[in-house]
Structure formats: C-alpha cells, structure tokens
Amino acid sequence: MADTPVEYIKHHLTNLTYGQKTDGTWGFAQNATEAQQMGFWSINVDTMAMSLLMGLVFLFLFRRVAKRANAGVPTGLANFVEVTVEFVQNMVKDTFHGKSKVIAPLALTIFVWVLLMNSLKWIPVDFIPAVAHYAGLPAFKYVPTADPNATFGLSIGVFFLIIFYSFKVKGAGGFIKELSFTPFTHWALIPFNLFLEILGLLTKPLSLALRLFGNMYAGEVVFILIALLPLYAQWALYGPWAIFHILVIPLQAFIFMVLTIVYLSAAHETH
C-alpha cells in the first residue's frame, strides 16, 4: 500500500473521499492531494459509513436489551446497558437544572455513540485499511472521531439545540437581553457584552469538536507510528498505549456528554 514511512502515514490518515475532481468528473480521490482539491462538495465516505454503523450497533444492542428486559437480575449485556442508563440518568439529574424529556435520551445517545466510534481505535491500524486496499479502495480511515468533519457535525448539532432552547425557554427578547446585559448591566456596555457573549457562544461547538478530534487524532497518529517500528518494538509499545486508551476513549465520550448537558442546562436558565 505504501513504499515509504511518509507514504504509509499519509495513506492511513487519508479519508476515502468522494466528490467532484478538478477535471469536472465525480469519483473517489486517489490520494490526500486530490481529496483536498475536491473542496466543499465532497463527502468522507469512510467517516459516514463507520459513524452510521456504530449508530446502528447502538440501536440494535439497546433495543435488544429493552425487548428482553425482565424483573430478574440483569447479566451480561443487559447489566452493561442498565449501568450505562443509570449512570447517564444520574449525571443528567446532577448537572441539568431545567425541565426537558429530551436531554437524558440525548445525553445517552451522545455518550454511547461517541464511545463506540472512539472504540474503533482498538482495531489494529493495518487491518481495515488492508481490507479496503484488497477491495480496490484507495484509502479508508475508520475512526470517525479522528475526522474533524464528524466531530464538528456533532458539535454543530449541539450548538443548534443550544440556540433553539435559548429562544424557546427565554423567548427572543429574554435571550437577546441576556446577551446584552451579561456580565455588565449598564446600557453603555451592551456592545462589549454582546462581543463577549457571542464569542463565548460560538466557542462552545468549537471547543467540543476540537477537544474530541484532537485527542482521537493524536492517538491515531501514535498507533500509526508504533506500527512503523520493528515487530518486537511494536508489542512492547502497542500494549501500554492501548491500555492507556481504555481511559482516554470513555473519558472523551464522557466529557463530550457532560459539556453538552452543561451547555443545554445554561440554555434552560431563565434568570
């Protein structure tokens, strides 16, 4: 798939991108340069496919457990699902101070979905790209959260919910008044307040997306660099780094969920 370490790294960090090429034709980019030249009207097929697959896995597992639920003591997968649901419920009760039937299911979806997407990082870095290569695909980057398009897609969705609930709960006048008179209440400082509040509002999706992407991308790069080492060195380093990600992978899903709850809780505050 690659003749040099540089080509190897580029290949593993290149998305399977479909879009309009510079010559006007549509198709898959054959390398990172072609993918960048496609511009806005393109789609990272691997990111979409793997994120949708993890979403379907989430729905399948939780629906299966829900259909088989009984009054007995849960075991196996049912126990994991029940612990996860209770954990998210308690987190919402402690963090969210408004009234909404949407926040808990949303928090559960975000936590489990991001956790599943992050967990793809435990698959050996050469396995899926090798399968894609033999299937005739030029590249396949299989960890969706290592692609900023996925993390920004999630964070922008959360941002729209923040704006929606801010207008719904506070009203247009209340929301504008909050932006205009926070943190200073004097009318002469309204422009300064608006600058600070709008800047703070816009940095929420930015921080959500970049925090998740940065951690997952950096971890992916380290796994790729380890794969370039001799076999004896790979086993010495791959194990500890994979064990470290036992903490990183759920932690990043947890942080994304908690910040979402906090931001939506602030959107429901009416004072």
Residues noted as catalytic? 207, 211, 215
Structure token pair of residue 156 = 């922008």
Report angle CA 204, 210, 215 to the nearest 5 degrees: 135
Residue 182 CA to residue 190 CA, distance in Å, equals 8
My answer on whether omega of the bond before 183 falls inside 30° of 0, hence cis, is yes
CB 154 within 8 A of CB 205: no
CB 212 within 8 A of CB 151: yes
Calculate the alpha carbon distances from 85 to 97, 148, 250 in Å: 19, 28, 15
CB 117 within 8 A of CB 256: no
- Residue 18 bridge partners (DSSP): 28, 43
Structure token pair of residue 78 = 């049912």
- Residue 28 bridge partners (DSSP): 18
